[in-house]
Amino acid sequence: MIIVMDPTAGEREIGAVEAKIRTHGLGVHVSRGTERTLIGAIGDERALEPEMFETMPGVERALHILKPYKLVAREWHRASTTIDVGGVVVGGAEVQMIAGPCSVETPAQMNAAADAVAAGGARLMRGGAFKPRTSPYAFQGKGVDGLRLLKDAAARHGLPVVTELMDVRMLDTFLDQGVDVIQVGTRNMQNFDLLKEVGRVDVPVILKRGMSATVSEWLMAAEYVAAGGNHKIVLCERGIRTFETAYRNVLDVTAIPVLKRETHLPVIVDPSHAGGKAWMVPSLACAAVAAGADGLLVEVHPDPRQAWCDADQALTPADFATLMHRLAALAPAVGRRMAIRAEAWAFA
C-alpha cells in the first residue's frame, strides 16, 4: 500500500502513519519528494485498508498496490483451475453446456426437459427449485419437492444438476438431496454469510455476477468462498444493469478476457438472462465462446409458451439442438471444443 501525504504534512503526521503500519506487522519505506512524501507499506498489505489512513491528519490518500483478492488471483496461482463435477470437467480445453428450465414445474415437464438437454448434447442440467423473484406474488419455486424432481429427471440421463441456493438455512437440505453444483445468484453475490457457508462445503459453486457489480467486487465475493476452504468456484457472467432498455441486461463480453487474465477460476456465461429473449441467446452464446468462456448456462424448456417463469428467454428443444451444432462448429476456431454427450450425435 502507498500512503500519499499532503504537502503540508510534517514529521509528526508522517511518524504517526509509520507507527500505524508497523502495529499491523508490516515494514515501512518513506520516500520524500520535492512536493509529496510517499509512505510504502512493505509486506502483505491485505491487512490494511485505505480507510484506516485517509482519516489521519496529513494524509491525502491511500491506495492498494496488490489486488485485494489473493486466493482467486492468477498472480498467486498461474495455472488455470479445472473443476470436476461427477466426471464433467469445467475449465480446460472443452466448453461445457449447462441447460434446463428456469424453474422446476411438474414431473412431466422435468422429464421432457431432461430428455431435451441430453438429446442436445449437454452434460449438466440446470433447474430452479427456489426462485428469487422481483414480485412477491410471482411463482417462487417448488422448494424441496422441486429439488427431488430435478434430481430424478436428471438421473434418467446421468446428468449432474445445478440449482440455486437462496437461503443459508437450506444448505444442509441441498447436501442431503445430493445437489452437484450450488448456484449463488446475482442477488446473493454479496450475501457474505451465504458465501462463508458455501465456502465450508466440498461442493462446486457457480457464483453469478451481481447485476451492478464491478469485476473487483465479484472477485472479492469469490474470495469469501475460497477463504472458507472451498476452491471449486466457477464465475458466471449473466449481464449487468445499465441505462439500456432494449434488452434485459447487457452481456459484458469484455469481462471474459479480463477475468481469464485476473483469475485462475473457470468462467461461464448465461446468455439467457443477458438478452432476455430466446432469439438473442444463440448470438450471445457464440460471442461468449469466441471471447474465451469455459461454459454456458442456457435455459431450455419443452414448451416455452407454457413456462411458469422467464418464458421469453427459454429455447425449445429443437432450437437448443441447433445451437449445440453451431457451437460445436465454432469452438475449434478459437482453439476449443464443445463437450457433447456421445449419444447425442445420433440425431445429427
pLDDT number for residue 133? 66
**Cα dihedral angle (182, 186, 190, 194), rounded to 10 degrees?**
-30
Question: pLDDT value at position 348?
Answer: 39
305, exposed or middle or buried, with CB in 10 Å at 0-12, 13-18, 19+?
exposed
At residue 122, the pLDDT reads 97
Query: Please, which residues have CB within 8 angstroms of residue 17's CB and are 6 or more apart in sequence?
Result: 3, 5, 39, 53, 56, 58, 59
pLDDT of 310 reads 83
Q: What is the DSSP string of 292-310?
A: T-SEEEEEB-S-GGG-SS-
> What is the reported pLDDT for 56?
95
Alpha-carbon distance 50 to 64, whole Å?
7
Residue 191 CA to residue 193 CA, distance in Å, equals 6
Per-residue pLDDT reduced to its tens digit, 306-328: 988 888 999 999 999 999 999 99
Please give the average pLDDT of every successive group of 10 residues along the chain, which has 348 residues. 92 95 92 88 84 94 82 89 95 96 95 96 94 67 88 96 95 95 96 96 97 96 94 97 91 97 97 95 98 98 91 95 97 96 62
- Where exactly does CATH 3.20.20.70 map onto the chain? 83-347
With contact defined as beta carbons under 8 Å apart, do 228 and 257 qualify? Answer: no
* Residue spans in the chain of domains classed CATH 3.30.70.1140: 2-63
CATH superfamily, domain 83-347, is Aldolase class I (3.20.20.70)
DSSP state for residue 185 in the 8-state scheme: P
Q: What is the DSSP code (8-state) at residue 25?
A: T
Which pLDDT does position 232 carry in this prediction? 97
pLDDT in tens, 186-218: 999 999 999 999 999 999 999 999 999 999 999
Q: What is the pLDDT of residue 249?
A: 92
pTM for this entry: 0.85
CATH number for 2-63: choose from 3.90.1150.10, 3.30.70.1140, 3.90.1300.10, 3.10.310.30: 3.30.70.1140
